[in-house]
Protein backbone atom coordinates (compact mmCIF):
# COMPACT_ATOMS: atom_id res chain seq x y z
CA UNK A 1 0.00 0.00 0.00
CA UNK A 2 1.35 3.42 -0.93
CA UNK A 3 0.65 6.35 1.35
CA UNK A 4 -0.49 9.64 -0.18
CA UNK A 5 2.35 12.11 -0.47
CA UNK A 6 5.07 9.52 0.20
CA UNK A 7 7.69 8.98 -2.51
CA UNK A 8 8.40 5.21 -2.78
CA UNK A 9 11.97 6.07 -3.81
CA UNK A 10 12.58 7.83 -0.49
CA UNK A 11 12.48 6.80 3.17
CA UNK A 12 10.34 8.41 5.90
CA UNK A 13 12.93 11.15 6.39
CA UNK A 14 12.85 12.11 2.71
CA UNK A 15 16.28 10.59 2.02
CA UNK A 16 16.77 8.38 -1.05
CA UNK A 17 15.75 4.78 -0.28
CA UNK A 18 18.68 2.43 0.18
CA UNK A 19 18.74 -0.21 -2.55
CA UNK A 20 18.96 -3.91 -1.76
CA UNK A 21 22.12 -5.91 -2.41
CA UNK A 22 22.64 -6.28 -6.14
CA UNK A 23 19.71 -4.02 -7.01
CA UNK A 24 21.93 -1.15 -8.15
CA UNK A 25 24.12 -3.44 -10.25
CA UNK A 26 20.97 -4.83 -11.88
CA UNK A 27 19.76 -1.28 -12.61
CA UNK A 28 23.12 -0.35 -14.14
CA UNK A 29 23.11 -3.49 -16.32
CA UNK A 30 19.57 -2.73 -17.42
CA UNK A 31 20.60 0.80 -18.40
CA UNK A 32 23.55 -0.57 -20.37
CA UNK A 33 21.29 -3.01 -22.21
CA UNK A 34 19.02 -0.16 -23.28
CA UNK A 35 21.94 2.06 -24.31
CA UNK A 36 22.31 2.95 -28.00
CA UNK A 37 25.90 1.67 -27.89
CA UNK A 38 28.92 2.02 -25.61
CA UNK A 39 28.29 4.85 -23.13
CA UNK A 40 30.16 6.84 -20.49
CA UNK A 41 29.72 6.46 -16.75
CA UNK A 42 28.16 9.95 -16.71
CA UNK A 43 25.51 8.77 -19.16
CA UNK A 44 24.80 5.74 -16.94
CA UNK A 45 24.58 8.01 -13.88
CA UNK A 46 22.05 10.23 -15.64
CA UNK A 47 19.92 7.26 -16.77
CA UNK A 48 19.86 5.58 -13.35
CA UNK A 49 18.74 8.87 -11.87
CA UNK A 50 18.23 9.77 -8.25
CA UNK A 51 20.98 11.22 -6.16
CA UNK A 52 23.52 8.62 -7.25
CA UNK A 53 27.11 9.85 -7.04
CA UNK A 54 29.42 9.47 -10.02
CA UNK A 55 31.88 7.56 -7.81
CA UNK A 56 29.13 5.08 -6.91
CA UNK A 57 28.44 4.46 -10.60
CA UNK A 58 32.17 3.94 -11.21
CA UNK A 59 32.37 1.49 -8.29
CA UNK A 60 29.43 -0.53 -9.64
CA UNK A 61 30.86 -0.52 -13.18
CA UNK A 62 34.27 -1.64 -11.87
CA UNK A 63 32.68 -4.48 -9.91
CA UNK A 64 30.67 -5.54 -12.94
CA UNK A 65 33.86 -5.42 -15.02
CA UNK A 66 35.59 -7.73 -12.52
CA UNK A 67 32.63 -10.13 -12.86
CA UNK A 68 32.92 -9.88 -16.67
CA UNK A 69 29.35 -8.60 -16.86
CA UNK A 70 30.43 -5.42 -18.68
CA UNK A 71 33.22 -4.45 -21.04
CA UNK A 72 34.95 -1.12 -21.34
CA UNK A 73 37.04 0.49 -24.02
CA UNK A 74 38.87 3.76 -24.49
CA UNK A 75 37.12 6.62 -26.23
CA UNK A 76 39.60 9.47 -26.16
CA UNK A 77 40.59 10.09 -22.57
CA UNK A 78 37.51 8.41 -21.11
CA UNK A 79 36.15 4.89 -20.99
CA UNK A 80 32.88 3.79 -22.51
CA UNK A 81 30.95 0.84 -21.13
CA UNK A 82 28.73 -1.88 -22.62
CA UNK A 83 26.87 -4.85 -21.16
CA UNK A 84 28.62 -8.16 -21.76
CA UNK A 85 25.87 -10.27 -20.22
CA UNK A 86 22.19 -9.97 -19.44
CA UNK A 87 20.77 -10.58 -15.96
CA UNK A 88 20.42 -14.31 -16.65
CA UNK A 89 24.02 -14.52 -17.83
CA UNK A 90 25.25 -12.67 -14.75
CA UNK A 91 23.34 -15.05 -12.46
CA UNK A 92 24.73 -18.04 -14.35
CA UNK A 93 28.28 -16.71 -13.88
CA UNK A 94 27.66 -16.28 -10.16
CA UNK A 95 26.34 -19.83 -9.91
CA UNK A 96 29.38 -21.15 -11.78
CA UNK A 97 31.81 -19.23 -9.52
CA UNK A 98 30.08 -20.63 -6.43
CA UNK A 99 30.22 -24.14 -7.84
CA UNK A 100 33.91 -23.73 -8.63
CA UNK A 101 34.64 -23.03 -4.95
CA UNK A 102 33.06 -26.25 -3.71
CA UNK A 103 35.28 -29.34 -3.28
CA UNK A 104 32.37 -31.80 -3.73
CA UNK A 105 30.76 -30.73 -6.99
CA UNK A 106 28.69 -33.93 -7.22
CA UNK A 107 27.02 -33.28 -3.87
CA UNK A 108 26.33 -29.63 -4.70
CA UNK A 109 24.82 -30.42 -8.09
CA UNK A 110 22.81 -33.35 -6.67
CA UNK A 111 21.44 -31.11 -3.91
CA UNK A 112 20.59 -28.40 -6.44
CA UNK A 113 18.74 -30.81 -8.75
CA UNK A 114 16.74 -32.44 -5.93
CA UNK A 115 15.58 -29.00 -4.77
CA UNK A 116 14.16 -28.07 -8.20
CA UNK A 117 10.43 -27.94 -8.82
CA UNK A 118 9.18 -30.60 -11.26
CA UNK A 119 8.73 -27.87 -13.89
CA UNK A 120 12.30 -26.57 -13.44
CA UNK A 121 13.64 -30.13 -13.49
CA UNK A 122 11.89 -30.77 -16.81
CA UNK A 123 13.23 -27.50 -18.20
CA UNK A 124 16.75 -28.44 -17.11
CA UNK A 125 16.37 -31.88 -18.73
CA UNK A 126 15.25 -30.24 -21.98
CA UNK A 127 18.17 -27.82 -21.93
CA UNK A 128 20.66 -30.61 -21.25
CA UNK A 129 19.20 -32.77 -24.03
CA UNK A 130 19.43 -29.85 -26.45
CA UNK A 131 23.09 -29.32 -25.47
CA UNK A 132 24.10 -32.96 -26.05
CA UNK A 133 26.49 -33.59 -28.94
CA UNK A 134 24.91 -34.80 -32.14
CA UNK A 135 25.60 -38.42 -33.20
CA UNK A 136 27.98 -37.02 -35.84
CA UNK A 137 30.29 -35.73 -33.11
CA UNK A 138 29.23 -32.12 -32.56
CA UNK A 139 30.14 -30.20 -29.43
CA UNK A 140 28.24 -28.76 -26.48
CA UNK A 141 28.77 -25.31 -27.90
CA UNK A 142 30.35 -23.94 -24.74
CA UNK A 143 34.00 -24.68 -25.49
CA UNK A 144 34.20 -27.76 -23.23
Please tell me whether residues 99 and 123 are part of one structural domain.
yes
pLDDT in tens, 43-77: 999 999 878 899 999 999 999 999 888 999 999 99
- Which CATH number goes with the domain that contains 28? 1.10.10.10
Least confident of 2-11, 42-51, 97-106, 115-124: 2-11
Predicted pLDDT at 60: 95
Tally of domains within the chain: 2
pTM over 0.85: no
Q: What is the mean pLDDT of the chain?
A: 84
Q: Is residue 4 over pLDDT 60?
A: no
Please tell me whether residues 53 and 70 are part of one structural domain.
yes
What are the CA-CA distances from residue 128 to residues 121, 133, 144 (Å)?
A: 10, 10, 14
Predicted pLDDT at 7: 53
What are the CA-CA distances from residue 12 to residues 21, 49, 79, 108 (Å)?
A: 20, 20, 37, 43
CB contact at 8 A, 16 and 7: no
Range of the domain at 36: 23-83
Please tell me whether residues 64 and 36 are part of one structural domain.
yes
Please tell me whether residues 91 and 118 are part of one structural domain.
yes
Of the residues 83, 98, 120, which one is the last residue of a structural domain? 83
Predicted pLDDT at 5: 57
Predicted pLDDT at 22: 79
Please tell me whether residues 34 and 77 are part of one structural domain.
yes
Please tell me whether residues 71 and 92 are part of one structural domain.
no
Please tell me whether residues 75 and 33 are part of one structural domain.
yes
Query: In 3D, which of 96, 111, 81 has the Cα closest to residue 142?
Result: 96
Amino acid sequence: MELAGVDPGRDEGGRPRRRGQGELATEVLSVLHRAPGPVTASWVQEQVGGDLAYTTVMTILSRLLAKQAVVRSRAGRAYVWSAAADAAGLTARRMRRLLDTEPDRDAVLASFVTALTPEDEQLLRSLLNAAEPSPGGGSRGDGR
